[in-house]
Structure 1
Amino acid sequence: MTAPAESSRVAAVGRRWWRARARLGARGLAGQTGVLLLLSVLAALVCALTVFADHYAPITLLLVPLLIGSLLLGPRTLPWFVVFVLTLTVVAVGGRRLRHIEIMPVAVTGIAMVFLLGLIVLLMSFRRSRLGVAGIQGESMFVDLRDRILNQGGIPVLPVDWHVQSALASAGGTLFAGDFVVASRPARDRLEVVVVDVSGKGEQAGTRALLLSGAFGGLLGALPPDQFLPAANEYLLRQEWEEGFATAVHLSVNLTTGAFDIRTAGHPPAVWRAAGSGRWSVLSSEGPILGLIPGAEFHVATGVLAHGDAVLLYTDGMVEQPRRDIDLGIDRLVGEAESLLRGNFLDAAQRLVDALGSRNDDRATVVVHRL
């Protein structure tokens, strides 16, 4: 294919993309306009009911379209709808006065509630304008991002003699956490797994974890094992966050020979179970926290996973407790692993997360077992 022909093809694709984007934007605007009209009609009907059927329809009934509007309308149209509902509230009060209906103190309280909640919805719409979507759409986007971070930790398909499990629990039981897992199989005979603990906990660290999970996922599959943590460190330094640091443990294992490398960045050490003795031992490796020191170096711990061996990766939420040394927490983790996983690795990661760690901190665990 000649260069002009290639350029024409690219230009045609670009034009189709822009036309599709314009159509989607027009559909979105038309959808918002339709919802606004329907809600306006509903609010007008409710207003009429409060005037002509005052025994059955209190003025506070106008809160129903106001609430529905706060969920469905975007930040551009919601303020106008709030003003419209508040205007209808004034009209309803005036209509009752014209019909010589006495405004009771309870009704006055209801009117004040409509105006107060209208002001709250108005303030919420101004805050939401930074995102530019309606309430339900914003929640859907956030849930989609949450699902993406969880999918990043999905374990790729492995040979039949390898079994990898991961489990995650966040502080307070929410589904957003500062701990996350990224796994990749960049080559047929190599598995890469990273367990990361972002500074902060729960929802506070969730946004940073969402960004880092995508970035680390790209780095993990594109770089040799010894270059991943240095690249992740440089990436975090470029973000210049006030709390822009994280700890990580990175496992690279050859699925054919069982040889593995483990590198840590300010993270608790991995532990290794030798099938021959049935005991767990700590794999010491050193490296600074990610995002603090330019040009940091990360030392490696190596070994070979024989059949029946296992490696356990985890975050500090599994071993840290207030007023307790972390070494004691690691000893407890090893003891619990010996007890819980003796001869049975079914749901190993989840059982460890349920049994150990602080419920006030995020917890993540990965168990790599060679059958």
Structure 2
Amino acid sequence: MAHNESIVSRHSRYGAGPIRRLRLLGPWLGRAPWALVCLFLLLSVIATAAVGKFPESVPWGVYGFIVVLAGLFLEPRFLLVVYIGLFLAMAILGAYLGGTKTTTTGAQIVTVATMMLMLWLSHARAQVGVVGVSGESMLVDMRDRLRAQGELPPLPPSWGAEVALESAFGDGFSGDFVVASRSTDGCTLEVALVDVSGKGREVGARSLLLSGALGGLLGELSERDFLQSANNHMLRLRWSEGFATAVHVAVNLETGNFTIGYAGHPAAAQFTAGSGRWRMLAGGRGPLLGVIEQAEFPRETGSLRRGDALVLYSDGVIEARDKALDDGIDRMLGRAESFIRTGFEGLAQRLCDQAASGLGDDRAVVTIWRT
């Protein structure tokens, strides 16, 4: 029985539904004159209650609620109109009520400060053309789309594979990603694990852009041309501070033969059932992606027989500031030893959870095995 599973971060789908529903609400609330009319009506009701029967029961904090509500759903030009009206209402009510309501000056200062903050946020959203919480929804879509790229295709019954991705400190975005493809005749599985320079949200957009491009290249080119084409693509992007490492493997699912190549990436590990040992695949070394023009990316060949396994991983799994790289590799292989007798299902997530870097770096692991 094949175990074909992609394990993205355990927080990969949190809160996506409600945010997407609010995304549809934002543009509707942001349309003038509906939003302006509703907000001014609400302001009128509050002012009437403060002047009339409930001068002591209506707190100044309720105006802060209007400030935040308007700031979430209005464009800057409409937001400024609402804030001017709100400030005038507070000033008139403060003068009219006199000593009936205390802390008038302090409440006005806090409210104006909140207005300035919300105006800044509204202006920032307007620059990218989003209203309300639609910007957050776009980030959720980007995150889910990036992780969906790493879903592995179905495999034959005699093969198993897993992917585990964890971002630094549990952030929603990771500089590590996986793209995978199976040939149309079903004979070849190709997997590329890529580590883009940077961490967290700052690298999320670059990872999404690069994963889409490399996902399109995967399976369309010969396995020997993939890394070279990926390098050429990154050079065309001209990222000022951007480079990436990658490992690419192509496995023949009928014979078990594979080829593997690296672009500045840590060497993969192979378990051989015949010897009962792990070994590092040190051949097929190439330079970083996006650094050198016309770079060469040699490949190493090997074979996966029954009971064998292959582990691809990013540097966050083995690197730690206070330890040598060899210690990190030994630590990883020591964790993998416990799966030899029970099977390799769950190994990818185990290596991510117990990585040498802890939670301080992005981590990605791909395991492929033959039963």
Q: TM-score, normalised by structure 1?
A: 0.87
2:201 alignment counterpart: 203
Work out the CA distance in 1 between the residues paired with 2:63 and 2:93: 15
Greater shift in the superposed pair: 53-62 or 154-163:
53-62
Identify which of 136, 140, 152 aligns with 1:139. 136
Can you list the C-alpha shifts for 1:16-45, whole angstroms capped at 9, x where unaligned? xxxxxxxxxxx9578623344333322332
1:77-88 correspondence runs (5 A): 77-88=75-86
1:199-238 correspondence runs (5 A): 199-238=197-236
Q: CA RMSD in A?
A: 2.1
1:318 alignment counterpart: 317
Indicate the SS of the match to 1:135. coil
Work out the CA distance in 1 between the residues paired with 2:84 and 2:30: 23
Retained in 1: the 8 A contact 2:196–2:207?
yes
2:337 alignment counterpart: 338
Retained in 2: the 8 A contact 1:180–1:195?
yes
In the TM superposition, what is the alpha-carbon distance from 1:97 to its structure 2 partner?
2.6
1:89-168 correspondence runs (5 A): 89-98=87-96, 100-102=97-99, 106-168=103-165
Retained in 2: the 8 A contact 1:170–1:176?
yes
1:191 alignment counterpart: 189
Percentage of identical aligned residues: 43
Work out the CA distance in 2 between the residues paired with 1:85 and 1:347: 55
Amino acid at match of 2:311: L
1:59 alignment counterpart: 60
Work out the CA distance in 2 between the residues paired with 1:31 and 1:115: 21
Greater shift in the superposed pair: 318-327 or 78-87:
78-87
In the TM superposition, what is the alpha-carbon distance from 1:156 to its structure 2 partner?
0.8
Indicate the SS of the match to 2:178. strand
**Alpha-carbon spacing, 1:347–1:55, altered in 2? closer, same or farther (3 Å):** same
Work out the CA distance in 2 between the residues paired with 1:111 and 1:96: 9
In the TM superposition, what is the alpha-carbon distance from 1:166 to its structure 2 partner?
0.5
Work out the CA distance in 2 between the residues paired with 1:316 and 1:82: 49
Amino acid at match of 1:87: G
Can you list the C-alpha shifts for 1:341-367, whole angstroms capped at 9, x where unaligned? 442222221111112231211000000
Retained in 2: the 8 A contact 1:51–1:96?
no
In the TM superposition, what is the alpha-carbon distance from 1:172 to its structure 2 partner?
1.1
Work out the CA distance in 1 between the residues paired with 2:225 and 2:123: 44
Structure 1 unmatched ranges of 5 or more: 1-26
In the TM superposition, what is the alpha-carbon distance from 1:334 to its structure 2 partner?
1.5
Q: Are 1:289 and 2:310 an aligned pair? A: no
In the TM superposition, what is the alpha-carbon distance from 1:86 to its structure 2 partner?
3.9
**Alpha-carbon spacing, 1:37–1:160, altered in 2? closer, same or farther (3 Å):** farther
Work out the CA distance in 2 between the residues paired with 1:132 and 1:297: 42
Indicate the SS of the match to 1:129. helix
Greater shift in the superposed pair: 304-313 or 319-328:
319-328
Retained in 2: the 8 A contact 1:44–1:88?
no
1:23 alignment counterpart: none
Retained in 2: the 8 A contact 1:195–1:314?
yes
Greater shift in the superposed pair: 356-365 or 78-87:
78-87
Retained in 2: the 8 A contact 1:348–1:367?
yes
Indicate the SS of the match to 2:247. strand
2:265 alignment counterpart: 267
Work out the CA distance in 1 between the residues paired with 2:37 and 2:275: 73
Indicate the SS of the match to 2:160. strand
Indicate the SS of the match to 1:225. coil
Retained in 1: the 8 A contact 2:29–2:73?
no
**Alpha-carbon spacing, 1:66–1:79, altered in 2? closer, same or farther (3 Å):** farther
In the TM superposition, what is the alpha-carbon distance from 1:103 to its structure 2 partner?
6.8
Which structure is richer in relative contact order (CA contacts within 8 A, separation 6 or more)? Answer: 2
1:250 alignment counterpart: 248
Q: TM-score, normalised by structure 2?
A: 0.87
Work out the CA distance in 1 between the residues paired with 2:30 and 2:107: 32
Structure 2 unmatched ranges of 5 or more: 1-25
Retained in 1: the 8 A contact 2:90–2:108?
no
**Alpha-carbon spacing, 1:149–1:51, altered in 2? closer, same or farther (3 Å):** same
Retained in 2: the 8 A contact 1:319–1:333?
yes
In the TM superposition, what is the alpha-carbon distance from 1:50 to its structure 2 partner?
3.2
1:298 alignment counterpart: 297
Greater shift in the superposed pair: 240-249 or 324-333:
324-333
How many pairs align? 342
Work out the CA distance in 2 between the residues paired with 1:149 and 1:341: 31
**Alpha-carbon spacing, 1:158–1:35, altered in 2? closer, same or farther (3 Å):** farther
Retained in 2: the 8 A contact 1:183–1:192?
yes
Retained in 2: the 8 A contact 1:47–1:59?
no
1:20 alignment counterpart: none
Work out the CA distance in 1 between the residues paired with 2:43 and 2:153: 52
In the TM superposition, what is the alpha-carbon distance from 1:189 to its structure 2 partner?
0.8
Indicate the SS of the match to 1:32. coil
Indicate the SS of the match to 1:118. helix
1:366 alignment counterpart: 366
**Alpha-carbon spacing, 1:232–1:37, altered in 2? closer, same or farther (3 Å):** farther
Indicate the SS of the match to 2:311. strand
In the TM superposition, what is the alpha-carbon distance from 1:155 to its structure 2 partner?
0.6
Work out the CA distance in 1 between the residues paired with 2:36 and 2:191: 48
Work out the CA distance in 2 between the residues paired with 1:260 and 1:351: 25
Q: Are 1:71 and 2:68 an aligned pair? A: no
1:40 alignment counterpart: 40
Retained in 2: the 8 A contact 1:262–1:301?
yes
Work out the CA distance in 1 between the residues paired with 2:324 and 2:211: 29
